[in-house]
Chain A
Amino acid sequence: MKVTLDWLKQHIDTDASLETIVETLTRIGLEVEGVENPGAKLAAFRVAKVLSAAPHPQADKLQVLSVDAGDGPLQVVCGAPNARAGLVGVFGSPGATVPSNGMVLKVAAIRGVESNGMMCSTRELELGEDHDGIIELPADAPIGMAYPDYAGLNDPVIEINVLPNRPDCMGVRGIALDLVAAGLGTAKPLAYAPVEGTGAGPDVRTDDAEGCPAFYAQSVTGLTNGTAPEWMRRRLTAIGQRSISTLVDITNYVMFDLGRPLHVYDRAKLSGGLVARKAVAGEQVLALNGKTYTLAETMTVIADAGRVHDIGGIMGGEDSGVTPETTDVVIECAYFDPDGIARTGQALLLTSDARARFERGVDPAFLEQGLAIATRLVLDLCGGTASLPTHAGTPPTTRKRIAYDPARAETLGGLAVAPERQRAILTALGFAVEADWTVLPPPARRDVDGPADLVEEVIRIVGIDSVPATPLPRAAGVAKPTATPAQRLESRVRRAAAARGLNETITWSFLSESQAEAIGGGTWTLANPISEELKVMRPSLLPGLLSAAERNLKRGAGGVRLFELGRRYLSDGERPTLSVVLAGEARPRGWQNGKASLFTAFDAKAEALALLAAAGAPVDNLQVMGDAGDAWHPGQSGTLRLGPKTVLAAFGMVHPLTTRAFDVDGPVAAVELYLDAIPPKRASSFARAAYAPPALQAVRRDFAFLVPDSVSGDALVRAARGADKAAIVAARVFDVFTGTGVEPGHKSIAIEVTLQPGEKSFTEADLKAVADKVVAAAAKLGASLRG
Chain B
Amino acid sequence: MTDLDPMKTDLLAAIAAAATLEALDGIRVQALGKQGSITALLKTLGGMSPDERLVQGPRIQGVREAVTTAIAARKAALDRADLDARLARETLDMTLPADAAPQGSVHPVSQVLDEMAEIFADLGFAVATGPEIEDQWHNFTALNMPESHPARAMHDTFYLRAGEGEEAKVLRTHTSPVQIRTMMGQEPPIRIIAPGRVYRSDWDATHTPMFHQIEGLVIDKGITLGHLKWTLETFLKAFFERDDIVLRLRPSYFPFTEPSAEVDVGWTMEKGRRVLGGSEGWMELLGSGMVHPKVIAACGLDPNEWQGFAFGVGVDRLAMLKYGMDDLRPFFEGDARWLKHYGFSALDVPTLSQGVGA
Chain A positions within 8 Å of B, measured between CB atoms, are: 26-29, 31, 163-166, 338-340, 342-343, 346, 359-360, 410-415, 450, 452-453, 455-456, 459-460, 464-465, 467-472, 474-475, 479-484, 487, 491, 494-510, 524-531, 534, 537, 544-545, 547-549, 551-552, 555, 557, 559-562, 565-567, 569, 573-574, 587, 590-593
Q: Does B159 contact A (CB under 8 A)?
A: yes
> Out of B161, B226, B332, which one reaches A469, CB within 8 Å?
B226
Q: Is the CB of B104 within 8 A of A499?
A: yes
Q: How far is the CA of A639 from the CA of B307 in the complex (A)?
A: 49
Q: Is the CB of B346 within 8 A of A495?
A: yes
Q: Is the CB of B230 within 8 A of A471?
A: yes
Q: Is the CB of A590 within 8 A of B97?
A: yes
Lowest 10 A-B CB distances belong to which pairs? A548-B334, A414-B226, A501-B102, A29-B251, A470-B226, A414-B224, A456-B259, A163-B253, A460-B251, A499-B346
Q: How far is the CA of A501 from the CA of B343 in the complex (A)?
A: 12
Given A498-B105, A501-B102, A525-B161, does the pair A475, B150 have CB atoms closer than 8 Å? Answer: no
Q: Is the CB of B226 within 8 A of A467?
A: yes
Instruction: For A452, give the chain B residue with the smallest CB separation.
Output: B258
Of B17-25, B79-87, B135-143, B196-204, the stretch lying at the interface with chain A is B196-204
Known: A166-B253, A544-B334. 16 other contacts (CB 8 A): A26-B250, A164-B151, A412-B225, A412-B290, A412-B307, A413-B224, A464-B225, A467-B226, A468-B229, A480-B124, A482-B126, A499-B347, A506-B334, A508-B332, A509-B132, A530-B201
Q: Is the CB of B105 within 8 A of A504?
A: yes
Chain B positions within 8 Å of A, measured between CB atoms, are: 96-97, 99, 101-107, 109-110, 114, 117, 120-127, 131-133, 146-151, 153-154, 158-162, 168-169, 171, 191, 197, 199, 201-203, 209-210, 218, 222-231, 233-234, 248-253, 255, 258-262, 290, 292-293, 307, 331-337, 339-340, 343-347, 349
What A residues does B99 contact at CB under 8 A?
Answer: 587, 590, 592-593
> Out of A360, A465, A479, A566, which one reaches B250, CB within 8 Å?
A465
Least distance between B177 CB and chain A CB atoms (Å): 13
> Out of B122, B132, B250, which one reaches A31, CB within 8 Å?
B250
Q: Is the CB of B293 within 8 A of A342?
A: no
What B residues does A531 contact at CB under 8 A?
Answer: 203
Q: Is the CB of B103 within 8 A of A501?
A: yes
How would you classify the secondary structure of chain B's contact residues: helix, strand, loop or mixed? Answer: mixed
Choose among A450, A505, A548, A587 the residue with the greatest number of B CB atoms under 10 Å from its CB. Answer: A505
What B residues does A498 contact at CB under 8 A?
Answer: 104-106, 343-346
Instruction: For B201, give the chain A residue with the smallest CB separation.
Output: A530
* 23 pairs of residues in contact across A and B, judged by CB atoms under 8 Å: A27-B250, A28-B251, A31-B262, A343-B148, A412-B307, A414-B228, A452-B290, A452-B292, A464-B251, A480-B124, A482-B120, A487-B127, A504-B339, A504-B343, A506-B331, A508-B209, A510-B209, A525-B160, A528-B159, A530-B203, A544-B334, A565-B110, A587-B99
Q: Is the CB of B154 within 8 A of A164?
A: yes
Q: Is the CB of A545 within 8 A of B259?
A: no
Q: Is the CB of B104 within 8 A of A502?
A: yes
Given A452-B292, A503-B105, does the pair A567, B132 have CB atoms closer than 8 Å? Answer: yes
What B residues does A481 contact at CB under 8 A?
Answer: 121
Instruction: For A481, give the chain B residue with the smallest CB separation.
Output: B121
Given A524-B160, A569-B133, does the pair A503, B253 have CB atoms closer than 8 Å? Answer: no
Given A411-B224, A415-B225, does the pair A342, B252 have CB atoms closer than 8 Å? Answer: no
How would you classify the secondary structure of chain A's contact residues: helix, strand, loop or mixed? Answer: mixed
Q: Is the CB of B230 within 8 A of A470?
A: yes
Given A412-B307, A496-B346, A498-B104, does the pair A465, B249 have CB atoms closer than 8 Å? Answer: yes
Given A455-B259, A465-B250, does the pair A472, B101 have CB atoms closer than 8 Å? Answer: no
> Out of B191, B197, B222, B349, which one reaches A509, CB within 8 Å?
B197
Given A503-B104, A509-B199, A552-B334, does the pair A342, B150 have CB atoms closer than 8 Å? Answer: yes
Q: How far is the CA of A468 from the CA of B225 in the complex (A)?
A: 9
Q: Is the CB of A359 within 8 A of B150?
A: yes
Q: Is the CB of B210 within 8 A of A509?
A: yes
Least distance between A669 CB and chain B CB atoms (Å): 14
Choose among B117, B122, B210, B225 the residue with the greatest number of A CB atoms under 10 Å from its CB. Answer: B225
Least distance between A715 CB and chain B CB atoms (Å): 34
> Out of B171, B224, B250, B307, which one reaches A470, CB within 8 Å?
B224
Least distance between A607 CB and chain B CB atoms (Å): 11
What B residues does A592 contact at CB under 8 A?
Answer: 99
Q: Is the CB of B199 within 8 A of A472?
A: no
Q: How far is the CA of A479 from the CA of B122 in the complex (A)?
A: 5
Least distance between B111 CB and chain A CB atoms (Å): 9
Q: How far is the CA of A360 from the CA of B349 in the complex (A)?
A: 48
Q: Is the CB of B225 within 8 A of A528?
A: no
What B residues does A555 contact at CB under 8 A?
Answer: 335, 337
